[in-house]
């Protein structure tokens, strides 16, 4: 079916890309790439915060409570920046891709509507949780954080449903270029939904876990080895270490699903020029002029991985009609991004195993400085892997916006001035990004000056307002 | 079915205009509060009032965008291909505003607070202005059904500029009333007087602009004028009555009543616009039923709307109640 529409749409193509395509794609890539870094902090960091919170209340652990409270402040700042940068994406969907929205909004929009619902709940309960520390009772306050975590999960699943639909569109009938019938459940639970959603959700938990652990590992490397830092490392790293093997498992399923249902993307991922069997797995290398230059070749590797047999046939780039074949440059990007993601994932699995082993043997963090160094770097690596994975999904779909139905060059706006708009966005986002980092460092310095014990704003501390209710379960 | 979806969409627009509008208006007063020392207390009150609620209020905008592009995709494409300049500027304003506000809460040095605060406050005025011009462009029928209308005159025209100025004025007025009430709850007599004065001034100015607007609409947007003076007239009158009543009662009435009146004044204007435009979605260009998505999509949106009614409304009420009772500590 997709093959048929590939040919029919391909035949009526205008070959040249419109001038707006490049700035529009760059702008979308940049703003999405910026926003996606903030996503794990709204979705998964809040979960780490709740673990610390629950531990703090249950074990009467002041350090854990302090961590939870400080994390909630960081989460509040990042949530605000994420909320507004996410809003820009909603505008951009219309401003940059009006043909996508105008024609396919009726189907594509449904998961977004559900996401809106979760975003509402998230914004409401984030506020209650973040501002509720002083004047709410401990357990009720803790429970106001639970909807934040749940709506974060729900929101992620909904947004990814929309993205997955662009990769494997379904659930609608078109007549004369217009959607005339929609089957909402098929739209939401499209072919790519399951693995993409779970993969992204686990990625969010990995990024939040490794980044937060990395921050405390960096502090420990500088000699701050108090309980505060050890706990600040242990909670997120435990979550990340539990999630990582799951992620590798899900990633493996995802790759095979892509092999089965998105052959063009799979050909780009593995950089397969011609259809055939005994296709080698090439690690790294640069794809140009129809072959991979450099890289390490594992004979029949790709065939083995996708079909458990060297005679598994893999569709190459040559099977895609020339008009809709991705240029070599994009194939190279997708292939390298995929290798980056898998490579980092494997390294993070190693780190998780190291941590698990030390914990299993001694019930303690590994003592080596190399472990702390590796953990510090793991945060950055996890973010890189997240970006790389997103490049695989988005660039791997090109030149299609809605695979088999709408080419990116046809989805783009015809309005001009896009470079100007992009330049303004770039300048603004750089300023916002830099200020975000500055503000987080400011918080860190302030907390460090206060020290662990001298904190004046201990959570669930003495109520300060005359109207406040006395907090129960006081230490 | 399409009318129901349009009503849901318009409830979102009204909620954003009133709740988001009050937040924008607070930014207006933040901008005009004077120097760092003189404006310190009013800014503090604005900060405390806004901090827990602005993000939830902001989500109404996302809700409207999503409802529009899912329920009425062709109208959404027509709007974005025509009014891309004010929409783009509003989007950038939203980023500056939200991040500026979040950052100001964290930084402590006066010069840094001034910079982040200025970013927040300036964009709080610019953003509703541009959104107001978008509303004016749509209402006056300057967005063609097929999109790609004139990128400049679609929003630089009498009705759009009226929309922009009116949006800023209404936001300022609603915010001033809310902040007067907030100051009273906190028994801060000085700030109460400060904001009450501003509530009165903004009510007078906004009322005058609205009166002048009658002439502008008559000359520039005939069909909208007819709608507002015809089917929409009761709502316009209610709005005027609410505005006048809140002005008269500013000294005496209970804060709750004043807030209700201000919300009534602002909300009925927006609803009046919707009623005046019915059955058109884009001014005189595109009818609601023509723009609507297939029934199954509209049905899905109705399910989402019902879920919002069951989940979001109580949650939001909880947030507002906790905030009002001082259970949320924003210092």
What pLDDT does A457 receive?
A: 55
Give B261's Cβ-side CA count (13 Å radius): 23
- Cα–Cα distances (Å) from B329 to A71, A130, A464, B324, in that order, read 16, 9, 9, 11
Beta-sheet pairing, A400-402 with A286-288: unpaired
Q: Give B267→chain A minimum CA distance, Å.
A: 21
Residue A161 · residue A197 · CB < 8 Å: yes
Tokens of B186: 């906190």
Query: Mean per-residue pLDDT for A83-100?
Result: 92
CB neighbour class for A176 (10 Å; exposed up to 12, middle 13-18, buried from 19): exposed
| Percentage of the residues of chain A whose pLDDT score is greater than 70 | 91
Q: Give A211→chain B minimum CA distance, Å.
A: 21
Tracing tokens 């095979």 back to the chain, one arrives at: A256
The pLDDT of residue A12 is above 80 = no
The pLDDT of residue A436 is above 80 = yes
Q: Looking at the whole model, is its pTM more than 0.80?
A: yes
Cα–Cα dist B99/B107, whole Å: 12
pLDDT in tens, B35-71: 888 888 889 899 888 888 999 999 999 999 999 999 9
| CB-CB under 8 Å, A428 with B147 | no
Q: Give A244→chain B minimum CA distance, Å.
A: 32
CB neighbour class for B283 (10 Å; exposed up to 12, middle 13-18, buried from 19): buried
φ and ψ at residue A401, rounded to 5 degrees: -95, -50
What pLDDT does A134 receive?
A: 85
The pLDDT of residue A122 is above 60 = yes
The pLDDT of residue A379 is above 60 = yes
Tokens of B14: 């009204």
Give A321's Cβ-side CA count (13 Å radius): 18
| Percentage of the residues of chain A whose pLDDT score is greater than 90 | 63
The pLDDT of residue A475 is above 50 = no
Instruction: Report the DSSP beta bridge partners of residue A175.
Output: A178
Most A CBs within 10 Å: which of B47, B98, B114, B307, as the mutation test of the A interface? B98
**Which residue on chain B is closest to A116 by alpha carbon?**
B63
Cα–Cα dist B202/B181, whole Å: 16
Report DSSP letters for A436-448, one per residue. Answer: HHHHHHHHHHHHH
Cα–Cα dist A403/A6, whole Å: 9
Lowest-confidence segment of A50-54, B127-131, B142-146 by average pLDDT: B142-146
| CB-CB under 8 Å, A101 with B80 | yes
What pLDDT does A199 receive?
A: 96
Confidence of residue A472 (pLDDT cuts 50, 70, 90): very low
Query: Mean per-residue pLDDT for A229-233?
Result: 93
What pLDDT does A451 receive?
A: 63
Cα–Cα dist A335/A75, whole Å: 34
φ and ψ at residue B292, rounded to 5 degrees: -70, 150
Question: Nearest 10 degrees: CA dihedral of A220, A224, A229, A234?
Answer: 30
What pLDDT does A4 receive?
A: 43
Cα–Cα dist B64/A288, whole Å: 45
Task: Assign B155 to helix, strand or coil.
Answer: coil
Cα–Cα dist B192/B197, whole Å: 9
Query: Mean per-residue pLDDT for A329-352?
Result: 94
The pLDDT of residue A325 is above 50 = yes
pLDDT in tens, A397-407: 989 999 989 99
Residue A190 · residue A165 · CB < 8 Å: yes
| CB-CB under 8 Å, A121 with B315 | yes
The pLDDT of residue A473 is above 80 = no
Quote ipTM for the complex: 0.92
**Which residue on chain A is closest to B75 by alpha carbon?**
A102
Output b/e per residue, B166-193; b: 16+ Cβ within 10 A: bbbbbbbbbbbbbbbbbbbeeebeebbe
**pLDDT, chain B, mean:** 90
The pLDDT of residue A237 is above 80 = yes
Lowest-confidence segment of A79-83, A192-196, A465-469 by average pLDDT: A465-469
Most A CBs within 10 Å: which of B2, B11, B93, B103, as the mutation test of the A interface? B103
Residue B182 · residue B49 · CB < 8 Å: yes
- Strand ranges inside chain B, DSSP E: 280-282, 286-287
Confidence of residue A160 (pLDDT cuts 50, 70, 90): very high
What pLDDT does A418 receive?
A: 87
Residue A2 · residue A404 · CB < 8 Å: yes
Sign of dihedral through CA atoms A378, A384, A390, A395?
negative
- Degrees to nearest 5, angle at CA B289 with B283 and B293: 110
Instruction: Give me Rg for the CA atoms of chain A.
Output: 24
Residue A317 · residue A267 · CB < 8 Å: yes
**Which residue on chain B is closest to A74 by alpha carbon?**
B106
Query: Mean per-residue pLDDT for B200-212?
Result: 91
**To which H or E segment does residue B116 belong?**
helix B110-139
Left (φ > 0), alpha (ψ -120 to 50) or beta: where does A458 sit?
beta
| CB-CB under 8 Å, B73 with A104 | yes
Cα–Cα dist A194/A202, whole Å: 12
| CB-CB under 8 Å, B96 with A90 | no
Most B CBs within 10 Å: which of A24, A73, A121, A124, as the mutation test of the B interface? A124
- Degrees to nearest 5, angle at CA A323 with A320 and A328: 70
pLDDT in tens, B226-258: 888 888 899 989 999 998 898 888 887 777 888
pLDDT in tens, B314-329: 999 999 999 888 888 7
Confidence of residue A463 (pLDDT cuts 50, 70, 90): very low
What pLDDT does A388 receive?
A: 95
- Cα–Cα distances (Å) from A106 to A103, A172, B297, B298, in that order, read 7, 9, 6, 8
Confidence of residue A10 (pLDDT cuts 50, 70, 90): very low
What pLDDT does A285 receive?
A: 85
Q: Give B244→chain A minimum CA distance, Å.
A: 33
Residue A380 · residue A388 · CB < 8 Å: no
Cis omega (within 30 of 0) for bond into B279: yes
Taking alpha carbons only, the member of A385, A18, A73, A339 closest to residue A202 is A385
What pLDDT does A449 receive?
A: 80
The pLDDT of residue A409 is above 70 = yes
Provide the 10 A C-beta neighbour count for residue A286. 17
What pLDDT does A458 receive?
A: 53
What pLDDT does A464 receive?
A: 37
The pLDDT of residue B222 is above 80 = yes
What pLDDT does A462 receive?
A: 39
What pLDDT does A452 receive?
A: 52
Q: Give B141→chain A minimum CA distance, Å.
A: 19
Cα–Cα dist A334/A294, whole Å: 16
DSSP letter for A407, please.
E
| CB-CB under 8 Å, B92 with A77 | no
Instruction: Report the DSSP beta bridge partners of residue A288.
Output: A291
Cα–Cα dist B319/B312, whole Å: 10
Report which of residues B291 and A53 the model is more confident about: A53
What pLDDT does A300 receive?
A: 86
| CB-CB under 8 Å, A105 with B304 | no
Residue A306 · residue A256 · CB < 8 Å: yes
- Cα–Cα distances (Å) from B220 to A245, B156, B162, B210, in that order, read 65, 12, 11, 14
Sign of dihedral through CA atoms A424, A430, A431, A432?
positive
Confidence of residue A474 (pLDDT cuts 50, 70, 90): very low
Query: Mean per-residue pLDDT for B299-323?
Result: 91
Q: Maximum distance among all alpha carbons in chain A?
A: 77
- Degrees to nearest 5, angle at CA A439 with A435 and A441: 115
Confidence of residue A18 (pLDDT cuts 50, 70, 90): confident
Residue A269 · residue A263 · CB < 8 Å: no
pLDDT in tens, B102-114: 898 888 888 888 8
Task: Assign B73 to helix, strand or coil.
Answer: helix
pLDDT in tens, B276-299: 888 888 888 888 888 888 889 999
What pLDDT does A1 receive?
A: 39
pLDDT in tens, A438-459: 999 888 888 888 765 444 555 5
The pLDDT of residue A470 is above 70 = no
């Amino acid at each position: 079916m997709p093959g048929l529409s590939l040919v029919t749409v391909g035949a009526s193509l205008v070959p040249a890309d419109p001038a707006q395509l490049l700035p529009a794609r760059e702008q979308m890539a940049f703003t999405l790439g910026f926003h996606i870094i903030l996503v794990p902090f709204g979705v998964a960091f809040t979960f780490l915060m709740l673990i610390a919170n629950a531990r703090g209340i249950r074990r009467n652990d002041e350090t854990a409570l302090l961590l939870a409270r400080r994390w909630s402040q960081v989460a509040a700042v990042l949530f605000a920046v994420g909320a507004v940068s996410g809003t820009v994406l909603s505008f951009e969907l219309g401003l940059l891709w009006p043909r996508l929205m105008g024609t396919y909004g009726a189907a594509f929009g449904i998961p977004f509507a559900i996401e809106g619902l979760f975003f509402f709940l998230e914004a409401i309960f984030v506020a209650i949780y973040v501002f509720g520390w002083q004047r709410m009772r401990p357990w009720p306050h803790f429970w106001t954080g639970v909807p934040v975590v749940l709506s974060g999960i729900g929101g992620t699943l909904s947004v990814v449903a929309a993205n997955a639909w662009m990769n494997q569109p379904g659930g609608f009938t078109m007549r004369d270029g217009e959607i005339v019938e929609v089957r909402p459940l098929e739209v939401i639970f499209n072919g790519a939904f399951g693995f993409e959603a779970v993969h992204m959700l686990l990625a969010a938990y990995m990024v939040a876990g490794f980044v937060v652990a990395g921050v405390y590992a960096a502090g420990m490397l500088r000699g701050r080895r108090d309980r505060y830092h050890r706990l600040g490392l242990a909670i997120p790293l435990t979550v990340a270490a539990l999630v990582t093997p799951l992620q590798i498992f899900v990633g493996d399923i995802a790759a095979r699903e892509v092999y089965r249902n998105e052959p063009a993307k799979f050909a780009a991922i593995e950089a397969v020029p011609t259809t055939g069997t005994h296709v080698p797995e090439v690690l790294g290398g640069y794809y140009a002029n129809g072959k991979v230059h450099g890289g390490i070749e594992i004979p029949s590797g790709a065939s083995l991985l996708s079909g458990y047999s060297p005679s598994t046939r893999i569709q190459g780039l040559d099977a895609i009609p020339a008009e809709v074949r991705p240029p070599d440059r994009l194939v190279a990007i997708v292939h390298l991004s995929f290798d980056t993601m898998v490579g980092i994932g494997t390294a993070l699995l190693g780190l998780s195993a190291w941590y698990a082993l030390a914990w299993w043997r001694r019930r303690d963090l590994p003592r080596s400085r190399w472990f702390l160094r590796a953990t510090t770097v793991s945060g950055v690596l996890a973010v890189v892997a997240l970006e790389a994975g997103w490049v695989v999904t988005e660039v791997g779909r090109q030149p299609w916006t809605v695979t088999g139905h709408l080419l990116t060059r046809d989805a783009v706006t015809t309005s001009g001035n896009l470079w100007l708009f992009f330049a303004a966005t770039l300048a603004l986002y750089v300023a916002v990004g830099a200020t975000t980092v500055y503000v987080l460092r400011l918080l860190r310095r302030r907390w460090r000056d206060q020290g662990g014990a001298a904190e004046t704003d201990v959570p669930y501390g003495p109520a300060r307002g005359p109207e406040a209710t006395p907090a129960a379960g006081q230490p | 079915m399409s009318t129901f979806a349009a009503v849901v969409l318009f409830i979102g627009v009204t909620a954003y205009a009133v709740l988001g509008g009050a937040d924008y208006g607070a930014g207006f007063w933040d901008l005009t509060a004077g120097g760092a020392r003189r404006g310190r207390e009013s800014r503090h009150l604005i900060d405390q009032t806004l901090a827990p609620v602005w993000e939830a209020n902001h989500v109404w905008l996302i809700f409207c965008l999503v409802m529009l592009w899912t329920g009425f995709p062709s109208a959404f494409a027509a709007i974005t291909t025509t009014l891309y300049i004010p929409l783009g500027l509003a989007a950038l304003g939203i980023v500056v505003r939200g991040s500026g506000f979040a950052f100001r809460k964290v930084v402590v040095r006066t010069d840094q607070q001034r910079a982040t605060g200025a970013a927040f406050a300036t964009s709080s005025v610019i953003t509703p202005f541009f959104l107001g011009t978008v509303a004016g462009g749509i209402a006056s029928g300057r967005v063609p059904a097929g999109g790609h209308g004139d990128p400049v005159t679609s929003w630089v025209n009498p009705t759009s500029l009226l929309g922009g100025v009116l949006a800023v004025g209404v936001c300022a007025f609603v915010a001033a009333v809310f902040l007067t009430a907030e100051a009273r709850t906190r028994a801060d007599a000085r700030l109460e007087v400060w904001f009450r004065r501003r509530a009165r001034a903004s009510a007078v100015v906004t009322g005058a602009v609205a009166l002048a607007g009658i002439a502008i609409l008559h000359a520039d947007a005939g069909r909208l004028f007819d709608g507002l003076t015809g089917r929409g007239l009761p709502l316009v009158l209610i709005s005027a009555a609410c505005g006048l009543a809140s002005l008269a009662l500013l000294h005496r009435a209970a804060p709750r009543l004043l807030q209700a009146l201000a919300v009534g004044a602002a909300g009925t204007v927006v609803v009046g616009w919707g009623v005046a435009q019915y059955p058109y979605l884009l001014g005189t260009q595109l009818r609601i039923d023509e723009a609507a998505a297939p029934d199954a999509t509209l049905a899905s949106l109705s399910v989402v709307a019902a879920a919002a009614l069951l989940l979001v409304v109580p949650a939001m009420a909880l947030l507002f109640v906790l905030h009002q009772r001082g259970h949320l500590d924003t210092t």
